[in-house]
Amino acid sequence: MTTVKFMKDISSKSNTLRIATAKSVVLTNPDTIEKIRIGDVRGQDPFLIARIAAIQAVKNTSLMLPFTHQVPVDHVNIEFELTDSAVEIRAEVKAVYKVGVGMEAMVAATAAALNLYSTVRCIDRKASIGETRILKEKGGQASFREVFPRKLRAGVLVMSDSIASGQKSDLSGKIIVERLEHEGIEVVEYKVIPDDIQMIQETVTGWCDDKTFDLVMTTGGTGITPRDRTPEALMELLERELPGIAEAMRAYGQDRTHYSMLSRSFAGVRGQTLIICFPGSKKGVAESLDAVFPAVLHAFKMIWGGTYARHEHEEDE
């Protein structure tokens, strides 16, 4: 039985700047190169035709490659470099989107090469197309991953009266633990407590000041029910608030459910510890984690004063 492959689900991804460069080569003779150089191959400008064809092809990539996504392309640039017996084509494509534009760059380089080949073939029957490949890709989550001199240590705190009393089972806290472990972070402590301001403050203060965790993540108590008191408990413990983290979580969530606007999630720093307070629902937690990871870990470069090197994933020739 044949298995039908479906388009990859990218709904959980966030937009980032994507850049890709690809190249192709048209091989021909020196006489033809000279005619190309002056822009006159039987009265035609071969570069103009090839450049237009490449841009048009990029816009139709998903029609030729059925499992690719329709990328809202922001920029296409086609450059030509002449040698004694070849024309090297470089195609650069940019987009702010959830997936890369490597295929779009390859299509652009290929289309430019085919059209250039079609133009010069009438005067050089031995012309051919050489190697076509991606030179560079940049963007996506991999561009925001960090390399640390040691493993980060974290505590996960679940605040819920019903879970603490045994009436319900915790799901959200375990989602956080799983994600942290996936990101290579050591979860030193995982704890469930009631929605009690004093207990919340004592636990978080101990984790930050005594155990010196790098990261404290909480879930629960960020809504507006009478017992939702996490912001009231923890805001006064912060030395510096990081409103951008909560803004990113709410903006990401708002694209998926309008209830995100009701969250009072927040984040900040106490000493050397980054504290992030997530919603209590498992969906809210999962989406908020997708919104902030892995870029949020860049905070430690600033907290530690820039004492480690950033690792930026970039493929180059």
Q: Chain centroid to CA 29: how far? A: 44
Residue 211 has pLDDT above 90, yes or no: yes
User: For all residues of the chain together, what is the average pLDDT?
Assistant: 91
Average pLDDT of the residues in 128-152: 90
Residue 1 has pLDDT above 80, yes or no: no
Residue 241 has pLDDT above 90, yes or no: yes
Q: Which own/partner pairs from 309-316 qualify as long-range (CB within 8 Å, at least 24 positions apart)?
A: 309/147, 310/146, 310/147, 311/145, 311/146, 311/147, 312/143, 313/142, 313/143, 313/145, 314/136, 314/137, 314/138, 314/143, 315/134, 315/136, 315/137, 316/135, 316/136
More confident: 207 or 35: 207
CB 216 within 8 Å of CB 274: yes
Residues 6+ apart with CB under 8 A from 206: none
The 8-class DSSP code of residue 208 comes to I
Q: What is the pLDDT of residue 4?
A: 60
SS3 state at 195? coil
Give the tens place of pLDDT for each residue, 178-200: 999 999 999 999 999 999 999 99
The identity of residue 130, as a single letter, is: G
Q: What is the pLDDT of residue 310?
A: 47
Q: What is the pLDDT of residue 316?
A: 40
| Helix H or strand E encompassing 34 | helix 30-37
The structural domains of the chain, ordered by start, are 16-139 (3.30.70.640), 153-303 (3.40.980.10)
The whole-model pTM stands at 0.79
Average pLDDT of the residues in 241-251: 95
Where residue 169 falls (left for φ over 0; alpha for ψ -120 to 50; beta otherwise) is: beta
Would you tell me how many other CB atoms lie within 10 Å of the CB of residue 241?
14
Average pLDDT of the residues in 202-221: 97
For tokens 């479906």, what's the residue? 6
Q: How much of the chain exceeds pLDDT 70, in percent?
A: 95
Q: What is the pLDDT of residue 224?
A: 92
Give the tens place of pLDDT for each residue, 66-124: 899 999 999 999 999 999 999 999 999 999 999 999 999 999 999 999 999 998 888 89
Residues 6+ apart with CB under 8 A from 77: 91, 92
